[in-house]
Homo-oligomer: A and B are copies of this chain.
Amino acid sequence: MAAGILNSVPASAMGSGTNLPDKSINDVISIKLPPLEQPTEKEQAVSSVSMPKDKRIGYAIVGLGNLSLGQILPGFGASKYGKPVALVSGDADKAKKVAAQYGINPKNIYNYQNFDNIKSNPEVDAVYIVLPNSMHEEYVVRAAKAGKHVLCEKPMATSAAACQRMIDACKQAGKKLMVAYRIQYEPHNRLAMEWVRSQKFGKVKVIDMMNSQNIGDPSQWRLKKALSGGGSLPDIGLYCLNTARFVLGEEPHTVIASTYSTPGDERFKEVEETVSWQMHFPGGAVVSAATSYGVHQSRRYRCYADKGGWFGLDPAFEYSRLQMEGSHAEGNQEIKIAPSIKEVQQFALELDHFAQCILDNKTPFTPGEEGLQDQKIMEAIYESAKTGKPVKLQTITTIDTFRGTPPKGDS
C-alpha cells in the first residue's frame, strides 16, 4: 500500500468557504482553572473554551422530526461554536413552539416553500439538513444556492449520482459541505481509530460489527423506498460501513453480501430487514458486518489484532454512554480493559467541527466525498446481494482518501 496521503483530494473539490467578515476562530474565549487533584489522577483541570454567543455560527435547522427535537437542538446547549438561529418546517405551529423553547426569533421560521429566502438572512451562516434521505439532494442544493454552508445528515442521498450533484453544487457555490458522520467526531470511536492506526495490539486483521434496532410503525418514511433509498443498510448498517472505513483509514476493494426480509412482515415490503456482508481491504483486513431492522437494539464492533489483543465499542453508535472495551494478554493473565472518556454531546461535536471549519476556512473531516464513497459501497453491497457474487470496487491505496481536516481535540 502507498504511504498515507492525507487530503489527497484537493480542498477545492471539497467546498472551500470564504471567511465570514465579522466572525473568526480568533474570537474564541479560553478560561483555564488549575486542577484540584493529584497528578496521578485522571486529567481533569477545568477549562472553559467557547466562542462568545454573538460570534458563533448561526445554524438553520431544516426539518423538525425526532432527530432535530431529540438530539440536535438539545445538542446546541453543549455547543461552543454554534447556535440555532432559524428553523425550517412544514408545520408552522410546531416551529413556533420550538422557536420559543430555544429562544429563536420567530421571524427566522421558514417553510419548504420560502426556504430559499434564508439567502437574505445574515444571521444564518450554515444550514443543517435533517430531512428524509431522498430530500437531502434538493435541500443541499437550495442551501448552497442561497449562499450557505451545508451540514447534511447521513446517508448523504439515495444514489451516488445525487451525492456527486450535491458536491458539485456546493463547490460551484463556494460553500462547504459536510456529512454528519457523528461517529468520526466521537472520542471513544476516535480512540479506537488511534489504536488501529498506532497498532496498539498489532495489526487489525478482522473486525466484526453489528448495528440493529427493531423498527416500529410501518408507515414511517424510513420504510418507504422512495424516501429512504433502502432499509437497515443506509440507516444503521451505514454506521458499520463508515466506521470500519474510518478506523482502518482504508477503502474496501471487494464486498460480498446477502439480505433477508421476513415474508409477510408489512414493515419490509419495500426495504430490506437484514443485511450481512463482508468487506475486504487492501491491507488485508476482513470486516464481517450485519445490520437489521428486525431485532433488539445492539450496536457493537470489535477490532481483532495480531499481537495479543483486541478492542472495540459496545455500545458503539448510541447517542450517549458509549463504552470502549478490549482484552489483551499479559504473561499468564488475560486482561479485559474498559477505558472511559468524558461523556460528550455528540451532536455538539459535529456542529462545532463544522463551525470551526467555517470560521477557520478548512475542509471538514467528513466532506461530501466521504458520503459519496459510502453510497458507492452501499450500491455494491446491494448488487452483491442481488447477484450472489462478490462485487469489486475501485482499489484505493491511500489513507483517509476522502477526508479533510481532522477535528481538534477537546478544546
Chain A residues at the B interface, C-beta cutoff of 8 Å: 29, 31, 33-44, 46, 48, 50-54, 65-66, 69-70, 73-74, 76-79, 94, 97-98, 100-103, 191, 201-202, 204-206, 208, 210, 212-217, 220, 222, 254, 256, 258, 260, 262-263, 274, 276, 278, 280, 284, 286, 288-290, 292, 294-298, 302, 304-310, 320-321, 327-343, 388-390, 410
Whether the pair A260, B288 counts as a contact (CB closer than 8 A) is: no
Total identical chains? 4
CB neighbours (8 Å) of A343 from chain B are 320-321, 343
Whether the pair A260, B276 counts as a contact (CB closer than 8 A) is: no
Of all chain B residues, the one with the shortest Cβ separation from A71 is B46
Q: Which of B33, B79, B305 contacts A295 (CB 8 A)?
A: B305
Cα A333 to Cα B280 with chains together (Å)? 32
Of all chain B residues, the one with the shortest Cβ separation from A212 is B304
Cα A277 to Cα B206 with chains together (Å)? 13
Whether the pair A390, B216 counts as a contact (CB closer than 8 A) is: no
Of all chain B residues, the one with the shortest Cβ separation from A213 is B37
Cα A43 to Cα B216 with chains together (Å)? 12
Whether the pair A216, B321 counts as a contact (CB closer than 8 A) is: no
Cα A366 to Cα B278 with chains together (Å)? 31
Interface centre among A43, A256, A410 (most CB of B within 10 A): A256
Whether the pair A42, B329 counts as a contact (CB closer than 8 A) is: yes
Of all chain B residues, the one with the shortest Cβ separation from A343 is B320
Whether the pair A103, B337 counts as a contact (CB closer than 8 A) is: no
- Name 8 A/B residue pairs within 8 A (Cβ), A-sorted: A33-B65, A205-B294, A208-B210, A214-B306, A258-B286, A258-B390, A288-B289, A295-B310
6 other A-B residue contacts (CB within 8 Å) besides A35-B216, A296-B304: A38-B306, A77-B77, A263-B284, A276-B278, A333-B341, A389-B389
